[in-house]
Amino acid sequence: MNIPYKIYLEESELPRQWYNVRADMKNKPAPLLNPATLAPASLDELSAVFCHDLAMQELDDTTALIDIPEEILNFYKMYRPSPLVRAYCLEKALGTPAKIYYKFEGNNTSGSHKLNSAIAQAYYAKKQGLKGVTTETGAGQWGTALSMACAYLGLDCKVYMVKVSYEQKPFRREVMRTYGANVTPSPSDTTNVGRKILSEFPGTTGSLGCAISEAVEAAVSTEGYRYVLGSVLNQVLLHQSVIGLETMAACDKYEIKPDVIIGCAGGGSNLGGLISPFMGRKLRGEADYQFIAVEPASCPSLTRGKFAYDFCDTGKVCPLAKMYTLGSGFIPSPNHAGGLRYHGMSSIVSQLYHDGLMEARSCEQTSVFEAAVQFARIEGILPAPESSHAIRVALDEALRCKETGEEKTILFGLTGTGYFDMVAYQKYNDGEMSDYIPTDEDIAASLANLPPTNEA
Amino acid sequence: MNIPYKIYLEESELPRQWYNVRADMKNKPAPLLNPATLAPASLDELSAVFCHDLAMQELDDTTALIDIPEEILNFYKMYRPSPLVRAYCLEKALGTPAKIYYKFEGNNTSGSHKLNSAIAQAYYAKKQGLKGVTTETGAGQWGTALSMACAYLGLDCKVYMVKVSYEQKPFRREVMRTYGANVTPSPSDTTNVGRKILSEFPGTTGSLGCAISEAVEAAVSTEGYRYVLGSVLNQVLLHQSVIGLETMAACDKYEIKPDVIIGCAGGGSNLGGLISPFMGRKLRGEADYQFIAVEPASCPSLTRGKFAYDFCDTGKVCPLAKMYTLGSGFIPSPNHAGGLRYHGMSSIVSQLYHDGLMEARSCEQTSVFEAAVQFARIEGILPAPESSHAIRVALDEALRCKETGEEKTILFGLTGTGYFDMVAYQKYNDGEMSDYIPTDEDIAASLANLPPTNEA
């Protein structure tokens, strides 16, 4: 069959249900724990933090298909389907017999796949009659996505932005403000946890874990607000399954059978969303695929972390999750892929990895940017540093095929664009970028402080 | 017929020929003049500045359809078709009976339609065996587009970037560097004209007219180089006709008949490209449309300029063009729509306007940003300031329909995204943006220095 450069599904072919991979998992991901009692968090407990319907989705590990509400479908239609691209130019430039495809999620103002879950979470908040939502953002893609969703639905949006990003990425901040969001640099004096951190570490430039704690406190202490999160959670992977469902529909339509599926992994939202329906087929024994999660060598939770219950945030106010973790006190180097600088990993992705259903690799950032620039010049798209981790491994696989002569079909997720990451590109262009790999001692020290529940 | 939110043509439906509207114009645009002799520039004279095939296209006012070379078609397939979007959400939010469509050209790394001509011009340079090309850039979209095209084809790319933009838009500069371009702030000491301007006006932050002069000098004085330009020229409008051809094909497929077609106009490349095939139908008496060019009130060449021969650049090294002009010495206010800050206008657009075949309106920038933010929040896309001029008038037209009850079909060109224009949005968000309208005396003073050929 003749494969076009870009495959766009028709509007009538768009998924109308999300796919919940937990329904097909034999070993379900472990439940979230209440940080106070260390017992599994109940619906009521989760509903104090999250919107009610989202808490339901968080706990539901049996329903395979969940209807996408009409209003979300209509929002999706403004920027979806995203294209599944055949990388003809890249294949030719590499001289590889491999066939390379990527699912490109960057063609929207948030610049990434984050919008898929932002609109869902904002919708359920609106449906519940809430006034607004709070969240944190690091690199800024999630905060931008949530701002867009809230502007569309007329919800208040309070974003705690890691202070170093707030100052270094003023344009990201300004996009959020353009969409009407209230953006506060974190740590701030607007929360107890923020004030505590500021007094203990005056002059700190903040961290994602700290911003999460502030956003959760702001949500639970303000009438009519709930907290929303852009990754890690089961509900987020559920919403992001729209990526994988579109990809699978496009593959099936054009009779494309991917051999290897690659995604970058920070909290796991893109990777989980992309692979979910394919993993479902694998779990049901209908097909087999090789899955590869790619993480930065500077923050290697899957490849060097421990599978254990851990706190999701610095302030320890969030529920605990069982996941591959480097310890909630782990301080990743200032790697330029801000979206991958998280100590933990989605419980679903962690369980699948633990069960040997997928692989993981880590890459150093200079080799990641080398791949990014090569890709940009050949395929035109300037990728986000996060996405470029997947590009790195896709290139490696394609070059391996060149050596062996294998005609593998390689599929990877291109999660977003790098337009707001030009400081990082400048460092690379000027030859001033370096790599950082934590020592075993660094990781062991951080893992020494896991919560007591793991000893049970 | 059921119209989807986004209409994507199939790859097989993409245009394979550009459309040259001059072939159907009864009054042809006046020829370019040699600045030294003030006689019509010959093919040989133009070929000293431009690539040979492009000089041919510049002069050809009789061939209606020109084949798009295969290599350009393949490049187009990496980012085209661009979507024709039905603005359902905007219609609903406005409560208008009008139907609103926009052709969105922002889904590529250059962030605009500029790539359509950049790849064509780079292709012909490569075909001629040249080593590289030179150009100028103001806002940076054209320079980015040309850098991408040159990287793809393996051509050198020298960009003279207006100094104020070079300093204020470091990220734009960095995108160009990532694509391997050599970017020089203009005026520079690398050219005679640059050194002359620097000595006369030390500390100047440059202008587009000056950067053009430097780029032309660099091209004609370097073996194996030619100059390329992103707007104004006939060849550019020819390449940009791909926008209008795709739009018309999508409209015909879904039986959409636009009543009014709106585009922003700086040098005229997007407007000309969008309207060309529709104008062709109008010129041939096959259909009628209302066309509206929208320009900034601060640089109103169509609405307040004179239809006359004028210099295209400050240094007066370029051929002269007959066009609506404010005078080559006109200094537009530092309006944030850098791409519309040009004293002249495409000869084709100028002639069509002069012949009463289209209308023109001007807008003040605060009202333009008001429209931009409204559009961003409802339709998701954060528009470029340039594009937002068309949005402003489309909103005005839709609101007029609301008053009159008319069910007009409004189509506008959304030329690009505003991701690199957040300084401007910040000014607007902070309430610090002002308007500027030149006085009649300002314009008269500038027009007093038109070249002598107009007196013949």
Give B 428-447 residues with CB within 8 A of chain A. Answer: 429
My answer on whether B62 and B188 are in the same domain is yes
Q: Mutate one of A3, A7, A8 to test the B interface: name it (highest B CB count within 10 A).
A: A8
| Out of A4, A111, A152, closest to residue B377 by CB | A152
* DSSP codes, A308-357: EEEESSTTS-SPEEEEEES-TT------S-GGG--S---HHHHHHHHTTS
ipTM of predicted assembly, 2 dp: 0.95
Q: What is the pLDDT of residues B3-26, one digit of tens each?
A: 999 999 999 999 999 999 999 999
pLDDT band at B143 (very low <50, low <70, confident <90, very high): very high
User: In the prediction, which pLDDT does A303 show?
Assistant: 98
Give the burial class of B226: count Cβ atoms within 10 A of its Cβ; 0-12 exposed, 13-18 middle, 19 or more buried.
buried
Report pLDDT digits (tens) over A293-340.
Answer: 999 999 999 999 999 999 998 888 889 999 999 999 888 877 788 888
Mean pLDDT score, B171-179: 95
B165/B183 Cα distance (integer angstroms): 12
- Encode pLDDT of B29-64 as tens digits: 999 999 999 999 999 999 999 999 999 999 999 999
Sheet holding A182-186, edge to edge: A182-186, A156-162, A132-137, A225-227
Asked if residue A267 and residue A347 are part of one domain, the reply reads yes
Tens of pLDDT, residue by residue over B353-367, are 999 999 999 999 999
**What residues of A are in contact with residue B85 (Cβ under 8 Å)?**
78
Residue reference for tokens 């012909």: B124
**Last residue in a domain, options A175, A208, A227:** A227
Per-residue pLDDT at A283 = 98
- Give yes or no: residues B331 and B365 share one domain: yes
Question: Is the model's pLDDT at B456 over the cut of 70?
Answer: no
State pTM to two decimals. Answer: 0.96
Are residues A302 and A406 located together in one domain of the fold?
yes
Query: Tell me, what's the pLDDT at A165?
Result: 86
Nearest to B178 among A178, A180, A429 (CB): A429
Of B78, B89, B417, the CB nearest to A89: B78
A160 to chain B, closest Cα gap in Å: 19
Boundaries of domain holding B284: 6-13+80-111+234-447
User: What is the rounded CA–CA span in Å between residue B456 and residue B84?
Assistant: 46
Same domain for A125 and A107:
no
- Residue B94, pLDDT > 70, answer yes
Asked if residue B283 belongs to a domain, the reply is: yes
Residue whose pair of structure tokens reads 């301007």 in the numeric block: B197
The C-alpha of A1 sits at a distance from chain B's nearest C-alpha, in angstroms, of: 14
The mean of the pLDDT values for chain A is 95
Please tell me whether residues B192 and B287 are part of one structural domain. Answer: no
The larger pLDDT score, comparing residue B279 to residue B341, is at B279
The answer to whether residue B221 sits within a structural domain is: yes
What is the predicted pLDDT for the residue at B181? 98
B300 preceded by cis ω (within 30°)?
no
Same domain, B123 and B136: yes
Domain boundary, last residue among A227, A244, A276: A227
Name the one residue in this structure whose structure tokens are 């979300």. Answer: A72
A168 vs B contacts (CB less than 8 Å): none
Report pLDDT digits (tens) over B122-131.
Answer: 999 999 999 9
A311, A175: one domain: no
A145 → chain B, closest CA residue:
B380
Q: How far apart are the first and last CA of chain A?
A: 56
Domain for residue B73, yes or no?
no
Nearest residue, CB atoms, A373 vs list B171, B178, B378: B178
Give me B171's structure tokens.
Answer: 């990220």
Cβ-contact A91, A98 below 8 angstroms: yes
Q: Which residue of B has its CA nearest to A119?
A: B380
Query: B253 with B198, same domain?
Result: no
Q: Does A44 touch chain B (CB under 8 A)?
A: no
CA distance A391 to A262: 8
pLDDT in the model for residue B455 = 56
Residue A172 contacts residue A143 (beta carbons within 8 Å):
yes
| pLDDT value of residue B329 | 86
Letter for the amino acid at B350?
S
Same domain? B339 vs B203 = no
Q: Which residues of chain A have pLDDT under 70?
A: 455-456
Average pLDDT, chain B: 95
Whether residues B62 and B89 share a domain: the answer is no
CA atoms of B110 and B143, how far apart (whole Å): 8
Task: Answer yes or no: do A319 and A182 share one domain.
Answer: no
Within-domain flag for B105 = yes
Task: Read off the CATH number of the domain in which A219 is found.
Answer: 3.40.50.1100
Q: How many domains does one find in chain A?
A: 2
End-of-domain residue from the set B227, B248, B280: B227
Q: Does B154 touch chain A (CB under 8 A)?
A: no
For the stretch A126-171, pLDDT in tens is 999 999 999 999 889 999 999 999 999 999 999 999 998 898 888 9
